[in-house]
Structure 1
Amino acid sequence: MMDVTNPARARVESPARAWLRHRPAGMLPDALLALAITAFAQADLAFHLDNSTPYGPMPAVVASTLVATSILALRRVTPLATAVILAVAIAGPMLVTPLTVTLWGDLLPILVATYSVARHSVSARAFIGVAAVGAGLVVVFLRNPESGTVGNIPFVAVPLAVCFVAGRVLRARARSHSDDRARARQLEAEREEAIRVALANERARIARELHDIVAHCVSVMVVQAGAAEDLLDRDPQKARAPLRSVQETGRQAVGELGRMLGLLRGERAQLALKPQPGTADLAELVDHMAAIGLPVELTVEGSSRPLSPGVDLTVYRIVQEALTNVLKHAAPTTAYVSLHYDDQSVRVSIRDTGRTGGPGGADTNRVGHGLIGMRERVGLYGGSLETAGTPGGGFTVTAQLPLEAGQR
């Protein structure tokens, strides 16, 4: 449908204009080349044709030259057909009557067609095309004694070989460059994919860190605020301690979020960053949880040894998340944290004594983003995570990480 609101777009496109827009690459220059060679060939015939020159019948010479030169317009579109048609146009009339071979009408089109079929065809088609041209030249030499003298054969064969070899060499170079460009595009695509994967992994890591920071701090604040509310009527003085804990935990959360957002904004130089927590900070974490009302017992088994930073942080975050879940979901309870070292791995276990079916007992309420984050952290280092209800009530989280995981 034509756009009547836009006269320029409503104009019907002419067939010539449409052909110019959709023509094959290189066809217009080839058409101009064919036109120029045809003009020179016909002018050569007009100026040099006389009774003393053995050109042959005029109509046959003109027709043969016209076909041989004009077909060059298709030398890149159909190079094999161009070579075959040119050979037939030159040698066909020779089977009927001998014709004189001319530079513009015969030799130059032969060289152009030979180069074109070598340059723009696969090996099999290239050799078929040059064989067709060679067969045509054999017919010319046999039917035209003047053209077939010994002195003229090298004059035609050497340029013919040079054109064919040049076409094959340039085709090989073009294919090599094309392969290099394709390889470069593939490498660029792989690099962009690697960047996307790295960004996705980084987003997931940041999401886990934010979840651990926010969930822990907010859970502590909620519990302490509830304790302060219970004490306000009975003993306002004692309510001050949980309220101060809420304030301190809130400041910690704001500070951690500020550091995390500063890293995302690239403000590393302006931030006073402290090291990531690890197993050495578990005692402080246990004391902090005990101070806000969750009794925790920490035991270490085996010979303590330094862990890689990633594994060290993973162990800490698992304990922090598990204790936060106990604080949020379990009934008044006691938690037990066990850290066990052996020669190949480190195992951490967090168990509570919450009531089965209670707000945090051995039910599915515990399975949320926290446990999913734990599994992702452990899986990143080739470890395993098990979660299960404890007989008689409670919940247990056990993670095992290979010691060499962070060194790969």
Structure 2
Amino acid sequence: MDQSGGPANGEAIPENFHLISNIAAAVSILLSNLIATGIGISVRQRREHESEIRAWAARTARLGSVTERNRIAREMHDVVAHSLTVMISLSDGAAVVVKKDPERAGEVLGELSRTGRTALADMRRVLGVLREDSARPAPWSLVSGHDLSKLLDGFRTAGLPLHYSHTGPALPEDPALQLTVYRIVQESLTNVLRYGRSLSQVDVRIVREGDSVTIEVLDDGRGSREPGTEEAALGTGQGIAGMRERAGIYAGTVDAGPGIHGGWRVHAELKWNGDKGKS
């Protein structure tokens, strides 16, 4: 020690040295705790985010599965209801005319065979998506035989006094939209064939104006398809619901009910913006 009694090296220790050391240690510990807490929060948030992503993926998969099942159900209903209705009508017609007009009976039986073959092809296409090894859903495009003019000819052969008109440009080259139009016309005419009585005229009108496609099927029959009636009890209501689901894909609507002058009327509106999407 020197003569003043201070440290031998001549440097004085501050009186608050220990206090400063304690504060520094406390700050260091606090910073360590804050860093650890931040890391913990970050890890927890990342795990929560990953959990939310997994839950979202699961919900999306379930929704996709339900949507696909509904699509298959619509296709199955349309194929079975239409084909069986037409085939029954053709069989009954052939039985009536076979003795009076064999040539006409041959035409009816030929249409019966074509309807059955088309139905079989449709069923194979739809059932194909139910296989476990099927990696993707059945395509929306029209398969062979799905031609609107052939559909209308088949209903004429089955006995419907059918008149068809198309106003405006041709339908867009969109297979999904064309299939939607086809199925709505098919379901509407199938119901006319099943429920219509004393028919003298059935009109099918398709109008395309800009991005709007309108489908109208109107008959003058005296049969009733009101809820609770005998004719309505023959169906399940899935047909109209299916048409509305199909139209909904194109932000459209379907109205079905008694016509102003009697009979039954189906009116569908579809919106198509494919041209805008391509520009």
Q: Which range, TM-score by smaller chain?
A: 0.7 to 0.9
**1:282-335 CA distance string (max 9 Å, x none):** 222111211222232111112335254333221111101101111111125232
Contact 2:83 2:119 in 1 (8 A): yes
Q: Residue 388 of structure 1 corresponds to which residue in structure 2?
A: 257
Q: Equivalents in 2 of 1:173, 1:276: separation in Å?
A: 57
Structure 1 residue aligned with 2:202: 335
Equivalent position to 1:283, from 149, 162, 165: 149
* Cα distance between partner residues in 1 of 2:95 and 2:242: 32
Alignment of 1:69-218 (within 5 A): 150-218=16-84
Return the structure number with greater helix share: 1
Distance 1:159 1:293 in 2: 98
Contact 1:348 / 1:399 at 8 angstroms: preserved in 2? Answer: yes
AA aligned to 1:343 is G
AA at the equivalent of 1:199: S
Question: Residue 7 of structure 2 corresponds to which residue in structure 1?
Answer: none
Work out whether 1:259 is the aligned partner of 2:125.
Answer: yes
- Gap change, CA 1:395 and 1:226, over 3 Å in 2: same
Q: Which residue of 2 aligns with 1:346?
A: 213
The CA distance in 2 between the partners of 1:304 and 1:385, in whole Å, is 21
Q: SS of the counterpart of 2:129?
A: helix
Aligned with 1:310 (options 145, 153, 176)? 176
- Over the matched positions of the two proteins, sequence identity in percent amounts to 31
2:254/2:269 contact within 8 Å kept:
yes
Alpha-carbon spacing, 1:261–1:330, altered in 2? closer, same or farther (3 Å): same
Q: Distance in 2 between matches of 1:190 and 1:205?
A: 22
Unaligned runs of 5+ in 1: 1-147
Q: Is the 8 A contact 2:257 2:266 kept in 1?
A: yes
Q: Separation in 1 of the partners of 2:111 and 2:152?
A: 15
Higher strand share: 2
SS in 2 for 1:337: strand
- For residues 169 and 303 of structure 1, the distance between their equivalents in structure 2, rounded to whole angstroms, comes to 68
Aligned to 1:296: 162
CA contact (8 A) 2:211 2:272 kept: yes
Note the C-alpha offset of 1:390: 2.3
Residue in 2 that maps onto 1:372: 241
How far, CA to CA, are the matches of 2:68 and 2:237 in structure 1? 21
Which consecutive unaligned segments of at least 5 residues does structure 2 have? 1-13
Q: Is the 8 A contact 1:308 1:406 kept in 2?
A: no
- C-alpha separation between the residues in 1 aligned to 2:143 and 2:183? 8
- SS at 1:259's partner residue? helix
Provide closer, same or farther for how the CA distance between residues 299 and 192 of structure 1 changes in structure 2, counting only shifts above 3 A: same
Shift of residue 184, structure 1, vs aligned partner: 1.4
Amino acid of the residue matched to residue 258 of structure 1?
Answer: R
1:216-227 equivalence runs, <5 A: 216-227=82-93
Q: Secondary structure in 1 aligned to 2:166?
A: strand
Residues 389, 161 of structure 1: CA spacing in aligned structure 2 closer, same or farther, 3 A cutoff?
same
Offset at residue 163 of structure 1 (A): 1.3
Q: Structure 1 residues 232 and 284 mapped into 2: Cα distance closer, same or farther (>3 Å)? A: closer
The 1:313–1:219 alpha-carbon spacing in structure 2 relative to 1, beyond 3 Å, is: same
Q: Which residue of 1 aligns with 2:11?
A: none
- SS of the equivalent of 2:147 reads helix
Structure 2: distance between partners of 1:184 and 1:339: 50
For the 8 Å contact 2:247–2:268, the answer to whether it is kept is: yes
**Higher RCO (CA-CA < 8 Å; seq separation 6+):** 2
Tell me if structure 2 keeps the 8 A contact 1:311–1:405: no
Shift of 1:160: 2.4
Structure 1 residues 238 and 268: CA distance shift in structure 2, 3 A: farther
Residue 240 (structure 1) shift: 4.8
Change (3 A) 1:284 1:250: closer
Cα distance in structure 2, aligned partners of 1:305 and 1:317: 14
Post-superposition shift, 1:149? 5.7
Q: Distance in 1 between matches of 2:188 and 2:143?
A: 16
For 1:363, the equivalent position in structure 2 comes to: 226
Aligned Cα root-mean-square deviation (Å): 3.1
Q: Secondary structure at the residue paired with 2:266? A: strand
The code of the aligned residue for 2:242 comes to G
- Paired residue type of 1:322: S
Which residue identity lines up with residue 25 of structure 2 in the other structure? Answer: P
The SS at the match of 1:317 is: helix
